[in-house]
């Protein structure tokens, strides 16, 4: 079976309310930080045909323009699509405007430990699962724990057993935003980056570490320094 072309959509907004200059501040030995790491990872994939970087950050555009690759396409994003109030639904429409055909792999620079090898595995797995009845893929973290909401247990029955062994609890998938992979037809027909029957691909906690808060940045640097993860 011949699978369709896969294009990466990499949205990258200027600034950060929680971590100043999060996307471009130095990280490890990388002068341009998370954007440098992520672009090199995506460029080094074999399963991704093209990378579409959408940003309103001139510093990111300047750095990305210095990379010698035909795989990378740059788009200066409009300011009305670049605020902290911009919704994911708006970005779904924006991604479809930029990528009209084939599969879209949506990822973020804030997942620095999802490597080129991981992306190749994700695309391969997606293509396999499409033949098995799934229509898309997204990465998750599997939680085996006691989940409560509104003063009551969510994922177990305390009338049966107040504190069951965590190993016996039904797993709950937490979306980690590491990768979403779906065909443009899903974007067009459902206005979404996943379909109605996505395959949930669980990643390890360290690999899927997401940098959203100042502490996350510090933890990520420690993980890398200790050799517990690789780029």
Interatomic CA distance for residues 202 and 172, integer angstroms? 11
The predicted pLDDT at position 14 comes to 86
Interatomic CA distance for residues 183 and 117, integer angstroms? 21
- Is pLDDT above 80 for 6? yes
Q: CA 190: distance to chain centroid?
A: 20
Q: Domain-by-domain residue ranges, the chain?
A: 6-140+172-225
Least confident range from 20-29, 121-130, 181-190: namely: 20-29
- Is pLDDT above 80 for 95? yes
pLDDT in tens, 164-178: 999 889 889 999 999
Specify the CATH superfamily of domain 6-140+172-225: Spore Coat Polysaccharide Biosynthesis Protein SpsA; Chain A (3.90.550.10)
The predicted pLDDT at position 1 comes to 45
Q: Which residues contact 163 (CB under 8 A, 6 or more apart)?
A: 146
Helices within the chain (DSSP H only): 33-43, 58-65, 88-98, 116-130, 184-190, 214-225
Name the residue with higher pLDDT: 170 or 99.
Answer: 99
Please give the average per-residue pLDDT across 150-157, as a whole number.
93
Say what percent of the chain tops pLDDT 70: 98
Least confident range from 39-43, 81-85, 99-103: namely: 81-85
Nearest to 103 by CA among 169, 8, 28: 8
- Is pLDDT above 90 for 5? yes
Four-residue CA torsion sign, 11, 16, 19, 21? positive
CB 95 within 8 A of CB 7: no
Please give the average per-residue pLDDT across 74-100, as a whole number.
91
Average pLDDT, rounded, for the chain:
93
pLDDT in tens, 35-49: 999 999 999 999 999
Please give the average per-residue pLDDT across 140-164, as a whole number.
93
The predicted pLDDT at position 165 comes to 92
The owner of tokens 């323009």 is 65
Q: What angle (nearest 5°) sits at the alpha carbon of residue 103, between those of residues 101 and 106?
A: 115
Termini Cα distance of the chain: 32
Please give the average per-residue pLDDT across 16-45, as a whole number.
90
Interatomic CA distance for residues 31 and 28, integer angstroms? 8
Residue 29: band (very low, low, confident or very high) from pLDDT cuts 50, 70, 90: confident
Q: CA 186: distance to chain centroid?
A: 18
The predicted pLDDT at position 81 comes to 84
């Amino acid at each position: 079976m011949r699978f369709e072309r896969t294009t990466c959509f990499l949205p990258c907004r200027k600034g950060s309310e929680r971590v100043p200059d999060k996307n471009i501040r130095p990280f490890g030995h990388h002068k341009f930080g998370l954007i440098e790491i992520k672009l090199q990872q995506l460029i080094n994939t074999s399963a991704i045909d093209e990378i579409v970087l959408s940003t309103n950050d001139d510093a990111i555009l300047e750095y990305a323009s210095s990379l010698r690759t035909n795989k990378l396409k740059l788009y200066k994003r409009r300011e009305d699509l670049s605020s902290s109030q911009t919704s994911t639904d708006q970005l779904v429409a924006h991604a479809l405007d930029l990528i009209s055909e084939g599969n879209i792999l949506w990822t973020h620079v804030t997942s620095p430990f999802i490597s080129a090898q991981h992306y190749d595995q994700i695309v391969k797995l997606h293509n396999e699962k499409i033949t098995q009845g799934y229509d898309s893929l997204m990465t998750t973290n599997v939680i085996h724990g006691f989940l409560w909401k509104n003063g009551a247990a969510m994922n177990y029955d305390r009338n049966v057993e107040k504190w069951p062994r965590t190993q016996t609890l039904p797993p709950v998938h937490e979306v980690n935003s590491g990768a979403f992979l779906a065909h443009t037809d899903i974007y067009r027909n459902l206005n979404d980056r996943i379909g109605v029957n996505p395959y949930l691909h669980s990643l390890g906690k360290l690999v899927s570490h997401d940098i959203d808060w100042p502490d996350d940045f510090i933890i990520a640097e420690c993980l890398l320094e200790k050799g517990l993860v690789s780029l």
